[in-house]
Amino acid sequence: MARLNVSTSFVLCIQGHLFSIRLFMEIILGLGRMIVMELKSKEDILEMLEGYEKIVLFGDSGCAQMCDVGGILQLEDMTDFLADHGKDVLGYVFVEGGLCDEFATKQELEKHKNMLEEADAFLVQACGVATQNLTEMVPEKISLPAVDSDFLGTMPERFHHDERCSMCGECVLDLTGGICPITRCAKGLLNGPCGGSMDGMCERDEDTECAWQLIYDRLREIDKLDNIKRIWEMKDWSKKHGPKTIVHEAKDALFQ
């Protein structure tokens, strides 16, 4: 029985490492999707931390690390920066995977329990979900966001992020040839291009292609131009706004 437990633990450990490697390779090769975020300014971070002396930093190996805001190197840089400005950084908590993973986060919180109890505040170098997760998990401590979450996007190459999805709750990609007008159009237009585009480029930024020109070209390519003639009903933006709770139940079949 002891041998079985050891073997099982070994298999689970290997599976965990394989998952982490697969996740890393998907993102680094541009095959993954992530919440893209940027570090707040030094001034904003210091202003947030006014009145708090003992700080614990949080980061993860998922989106935060891939956006270079919350990996181990960035946590160490933040430690030095805050120390130079008179803060007592007790240490950092680094979650393999993501701070959005409550199970993994709880494990790390338990490991660092004594350090966390001493902290005046947590500085979270990850997305808004991570900050809210920590607020709910450790309500007696204040969790502060060190980054701004911008969009759900792709990573075609290292340090390069392209906005692709606004998570509107009512996807229309089937009608637009797989190109999102809400995200790719500067005005979020759903019934065709504005009058300002010229030579296939957006009036807001001459280096940005007009989303509706891209949609038109794509629909023509796949012989679906009839889609562009449709005058769509007003979008139901209530599906965009939250808060939402979605519970996925185990099923034997996809559409059970």
pLDDT tens digits, 191-216? 889 999 999 999 998 899 999 999 99
Considering the domain architecture, whether residues 80 and 128 belong to the same structural domain is answered as yes
Name the token pair of 87: 């803060």
Question: CA-to-CA distance for 197 and 159, rounded, in angstroms?
Answer: 29
Considering the domain architecture, whether residues 132 and 175 belong to the same structural domain is answered as no
User: Would you say residue 8 has pLDDT above 90?
Assistant: no
Confidence of residue 33 (pLDDT cuts 50, 70, 90): low
Is 24 within the bounds of a domain? no
Residue 198: half-sphere exposure toward Cβ, Cα within 13 Å: 5
Considering the domain architecture, whether residues 72 and 141 belong to the same structural domain is answered as yes
For the residues 229-240, what does the mean pLDDT come to? 77
Residue 81's pLDDT is: 95
- 71 Cα distance to chain centroid: 14
User: Would you say residue 107 has pLDDT above 80?
Assistant: yes
8-state DSSP, 207: T
Residue 162's pLDDT is: 74
Is 7 within the bounds of a domain? no
Compare 142 and 94 and report the one with higher pLDDT: 94
Residue 42's pLDDT is: 92
Considering the domain architecture, whether residues 137 and 228 belong to the same structural domain is answered as no
Task: Provide the number of structural domains found in the chain.
Answer: 2
Is 4 within the bounds of a domain? no
Question: CA-to-CA distance for 221 and 254, rounded, in angstroms?
Answer: 31
Considering the domain architecture, whether residues 138 and 214 belong to the same structural domain is answered as no
CATH code, 68: 3.40.50.2300
Q: What letters, b where the CB count within 10 A reaches 16 and e where it falls short, cover 20-47?
A: eeebeeebeeeebebbbbebbeeeebee
User: Would you say residue 176 has pLDDT above 70?
Assistant: yes
Is 14 within the bounds of a domain? no
Residue 161's pLDDT is: 65
Confidence of residue 119 (pLDDT cuts 50, 70, 90): very high
The bridge status of strand 33-39 relative to strand 147-157 is: antiparallel
Residue 29's pLDDT is: 44
Q: What letters, b where the CB count within 10 A reaches 16 and e where it falls short, cover 83-97?
A: eeeebebbebbbbbb
Question: CA-to-CA distance for 60 and 75, rounded, in angstroms?
Answer: 10
Residue 158's pLDDT is: 63
Considering the domain architecture, whether residues 170 and 214 belong to the same structural domain is answered as yes
For the residues 228-255, what does the mean pLDDT come to? 69
User: Would you say residue 56 has pLDDT above 60?
Assistant: yes
Residue 173's pLDDT is: 82
User: Would you say residue 226 has pLDDT above 70?
Assistant: yes
Indicate yes or no: pTM above 0.75.
no
Is 249 within the bounds of a domain? no
Task: Single out the residue of 151, 149, 153, 107 nearest to residue 132, CA to CA.
Answer: 149
The residues, ordered by sequence, that sit 6+ positions from 141 with a Cβ below 8 Å of its Cβ are: 116, 119, 120, 121, 122, 134
Considering the domain architecture, whether residues 192 and 130 belong to the same structural domain is answered as no
Amino acid at 169: G
Residue 170's pLDDT is: 81
- At 184, give phi and psi (nearest 5°): -80, -25
Name the token pair of 9: 């633990």
In this structure, the dihedral spanned by the alpha carbons of residues 166, 167, 171 and 174, taken in order and rounded to 10 degrees, is 60
Is 252 within the bounds of a domain? no
User: Would you say residue 185 has pLDDT above 60?
Assistant: yes
For the residues 215-244, what does the mean pLDDT come to? 82
* pLDDT, the chain, mean: 81
Confidence of residue 156 (pLDDT cuts 50, 70, 90): low
Residue where a domain stops, chosen among 150, 185, 201 = 150
Sheet holding 33-39, edge to edge: 33-39, 147-157, 160-165
Confidence of residue 228 (pLDDT cuts 50, 70, 90): confident
Name the token pair of 149: 């979450």
Confidence of residue 154 (pLDDT cuts 50, 70, 90): low
Q: Could you list the residue range(s) of the whole structural domain that residue 97 is in?
A: 35-150
- Cα distance from N-terminal residue to C-terminal residue, the chain: 38
Residue 171's pLDDT is: 75
Considering the domain architecture, whether residues 145 and 182 belong to the same structural domain is answered as no
The residues, ordered by sequence, that sit 6+ positions from 205 with a Cβ below 8 Å of its Cβ are: 186
Percent of the chain with pLDDT over 90: 38
